[in-house]
Amino acid sequence: MREVTLGLMNGKRGIIFGVANDRSLAWHIAERLHAEGAELAFTHLPTPKMERRVRLLAEPLGATCIVPCDVTDDGQIRAAFQETNRQIGPLDFLVHSVAFASRAALSNPYYKTTRADFQQAMDISVYSLVALCQNGLRYLNEGASILTLTYLGAVKMIPGYNVMGVCKAALESSVRYLAAELGRERNIRVNAISAGPVQTLSAAGVSDFEKILRHYPNKAPLHRNIRPGEVGSSALYLLSDLASAVTGEIHYVDCGYNIVGW
């Protein structure tokens, strides 16, 4: 399907947290935003390997602001926003595509999750969004838009998703509270996309993921899995002025799978 560009993000600037490689949903969102005229900044985990990986993707889009950031470190978050503001100015949107749970926490039954693994997963996958709002609010324009990524495992038990499902439930609740507070204070919108299964780096940690990929086309009303670019298009809508009255929403991009009860 050929994407039509309308310049919906012309003159808008934003920052993308969470690009790991060219399969990342954050990357597909970035490509779509760039095609519509957005000026983008990117963060990367503070290692030479991750910096190289993100630069190879981001620089062809014209991105010059590529900054290190470990979202478990408030000092690094503040520094990332300060440097982004210095290089490209105030931001119109923020994309949070960050999640992590240890292999043990994903492979073991949920009731066997250790306290340390639970705290780590919640810190990186959920609190990081709160931390980005805390430290980045002063650098966001009035009426800016914030977007995060979730999954059906937040509201349904998905085999193998385990502690990450609990994290996504907390993330979706955070979206609603943040939307209420930031909308009142700064007219800032906060939404989430709940995407169907896509082969990404994070998905590789979910046991039996291939079974999930095979299962969706049998049950989803559209009888197929999603294309990653479809997440990018929905993100474009939510981050653009087209969605100026939309906030606190969990927007499903899963070929309708979430509506099926049989």
**Domains, in order of start, for the chain:** 13-251 (3.40.50.720)
The whole-number pLDDT of residue 214 equals: 84
What is residue 100's three-state secondary structure?
coil
pTM, whole model, 2 decimals? Answer: 0.94
Token pair, residue 153, equals 């495992």
Which residues make beta-bridge pairs with 96?
A: 17, 148
Which of 121, 120, 174, 123 is CA-nearest to residue 147?
A: 174
The whole-number pLDDT of residue 134 equals: 97
pLDDT in tens, 44-92: 999 999 999 999 999 999 999 999 999 999 999 999 999 999 999 999 9
The whole-number pLDDT of residue 262 equals: 72
Token pair, residue 1, equals 């399907």
Kindly give, in sequence order, each residue whose CB lies less than 8 Å from that of residue 16, ignoring residues fewer than 6 positions away.
Answer: 26, 29, 30, 40, 41, 42, 43, 95, 97
CB 153 within 8 A of CB 203: no
The whole-number pLDDT of residue 149 equals: 98
Which residues carry out catalysis?
A: 151, 161
The whole-number pLDDT of residue 2 equals: 59
Residue 146's φ and ψ, nearest 5 degrees, are -120, 135
The whole-number pLDDT of residue 127 equals: 98
CB 235 within 8 A of CB 95: yes
Which parts of the chain have pLDDT scores under 70? 1-3, 199-209
Counting every residue, how long is the chain?
262
The whole-number pLDDT of residue 204 equals: 53
